[in-house]
Amino acid sequence: MQREGTTMDAPISLGFTDPDVPPAGVYDRCIRCGLCLPSCPTYLETMTETSSPRGRISLIKAVGEGRLDLLAEGFQAQMSECLDCRACEAACPSGVRYGELIEGARAQIARALAPRRSLLQRTVRGFLVRRLFAGRGWLALAAALVRFAQRTRLDRLAAVFGLGRAIALAPTLDAPPFRPFARRDPATPAQGLALLHLGCVMPLAFPRVHAATVRMLGRARLAVVAPPDQGCCGAIAVHAGDPTFARSLAKRNIVAFERSGADVYVVNAAGCGAALKEYGHLLAEDPAWRERAQRFAARVRDVTEVLDAVELDPRIGPLPLRATYQDPCHLAHAQRVVAAPRRLLARIPELELVEMPESALCCGSAGVYNLTQPAMAERLGQRKIANLASTDARVVVTANPGCALQLAAGLRRAGMAVQVKHVVELLDDAYAAYSAPPARAAAAASRE
Ligand code: SF4
Ligand code: SF4
């Protein structure tokens, strides 16, 4: 019998094969209730069952049961179109761990396609997944080229070579990169040591967010260390279907954390935080690393979780601004951190926080989705900007570099003068705006 997704000339290529098989125990939990559909960005945009979580789970199950070819075009297309935003997972009453399914399916496809790729395709993919983001040198070189292009306006020329989208997303690289550093203690006696996860893009594109994070952790009475032997979290490799490489990156970070003697591993990029918290799962089949990975994952915290859980320095100043918060998918859905960032923003005197419609719907960034699925990324980006515009906010606050880049690019295109800030940046601004009561009194007296 011919199976779906095959032709008579092209017999079925593969079902799932070990390792990294999407677990039947996970897809069999789906009761097809459809409660996840209204939270799925691609379903909301297409209103098509196959572009929904339920549809994709059915496809994965069909491959798992040998009814559909792993390399069927439609299957590959749906596994790529999914943002891996995990909104469906957070909405599911049956506890379907959708992330495990999509990431397993992508690993299966990538492995099956590998021998069919040309040498050039293998080299480019290997460079993007295993070199560019995982090694700081290549990314630093790319950042230097972008900086040069921005200064000389050669970035306009880049569009001619098909790099327009990448250039449009690039932030203005006008500050020196953030460097690793040895332990820094706060002004008051430290109550613990935090390791700051540097990440790949953050030190180059958002050095101010890292600097603000260090200051905010100090205000939470934590000493901070950012050792150079940590590295990429592996999220891009997992999303690209290369969990083997992600495992090697995970081991490096586990060793760096153990060596540092830190009490907590602090992350200010939601995508990285979600990946780091899942090291226990990533290394579950490796008996030599399983327990170390679980211990590590249990110590990972988003910076908003850390700051929300402690008493902060009370000397915080006012920020008379109208702001709105964009939930990063990998913070809200993958880590289920929703209230902490909002509670932190509520601590800022005179900040007016207005909720954005669909604040937890993916903005279309999703790692490199913007580059691999530009049309859907653009639709979701425009939807987000329209929702943002409806709030009339002057600043949009988020907690992930991909969201920040996508929002900033959308705002530029729409000609909207709205600032994009990380939660810790806005908190840090509020502390900088503080003036001690005597100074305030003196200032008030001099105005009279
Ligand atoms: S909500 Fe859960 S059980 Fe219901 S269709 Fe979606 S994945 Fe399946
Ligand atoms: S991960 Fe996101 S895009 Fe993919 S099926 Fe779930 S909700 Fe839809």
User: Residues 199-213: pLDDT tens digits?
Assistant: 998 999 999 999 999
**Rounded distance, CA 156 to CA 163, Å?**
9
Three-state secondary structure along 300-318? EEEHHHHHHHCCCCCCCCC
Q: Quote the pLDDT of residue 164.
A: 62
Ligand nearest to the CA of 329: 2
329 has pLDDT over 70: yes
* Average pLDDT score over residue span 298-325: 97
Closest residue (by CA) to atom 8 of ligand 1?
Answer: 30
Which residue is associated with the tokens 């706060």? 186
pLDDT of the residue at 6? 40
- Of the chain, the percentage scoring pLDDT greater than 90 comes to 77
pLDDT computed for residue 7 by the predictor: 40
Q: Is 31 in the pocket of ligand 1 (CB under 6 A)?
A: yes
Distance 42 CA to ligand 2 centre (A): 7
pLDDT value for 18: 92
Q: Which atom of ligand 2 is nearest to the CA of 89?
A: 6
Atom 7 (ligand 2) nearest CA: 40
Q: Distance between CA atoms of 90 and 99, rounded to whole angstroms? A: 10
Whole-prediction pTM = 0.90
Percent of the chain at pLDDT > 70 equals 90
Q: Is 263 exposed, middle or buried (0-12, 13-18, 19+ CB in 10 A)?
A: middle
From ligand 1's centre to the CA of 234, what distance in Å? Answer: 28
Asked if pLDDT for residue 71 goes beyond 50, the answer is yes
What is residue 129's predicted lDDT score, i.e. its pLDDT? Answer: 79
Q: Give the mean pLDDT of 166-189.
A: 86
DSSP helix/strand/coil, 140: helix
CB-ligand 1 contact for 33 (6 Å cutoff): yes
* The pLDDT value given to residue 3: 44
| pLDDT, tens digit, 9 for 90 and up, residues 240-298 | 899 999 999 999 999 999 999 999 999 999 999 999 999 999 999 999 999 999 999 99
pLDDT given for residue 170 in this prediction: 74
Distances (CA, A) of 86 to 89, 106, 236, 237, 396: 5, 15, 15, 17, 22
Site to substitute for ligand 2 among 56, 361, 380, most atoms within 8 A of C-beta = 56
Sheet with strand 395-398: strands edge to edge = 352-354, 322-325, 395-398, 419-422
**pLDDT at residue 172 in the model:** 78
* Ligand 2 contact, 83 CB (< 6 A): yes
Does any ligand 2 atom lie closer than 6 A to the CB of residue 332?
no
Protein residue closest via CA to atom 7 of ligand 1: 30
Q: Which domains does the chain have, with CATH numbers?
A: 24-116 (1.10.1060.10), 119-169 (no CATH), 181-308 (3.40.50), 314-432 (3.40.50)
Dist. CA 338 → ligand 2 center (Å): 18
pLDDT at residue 2 above 60? no
30-39, 157-166, 250-259, 302-311: least confidently modelled range: 157-166
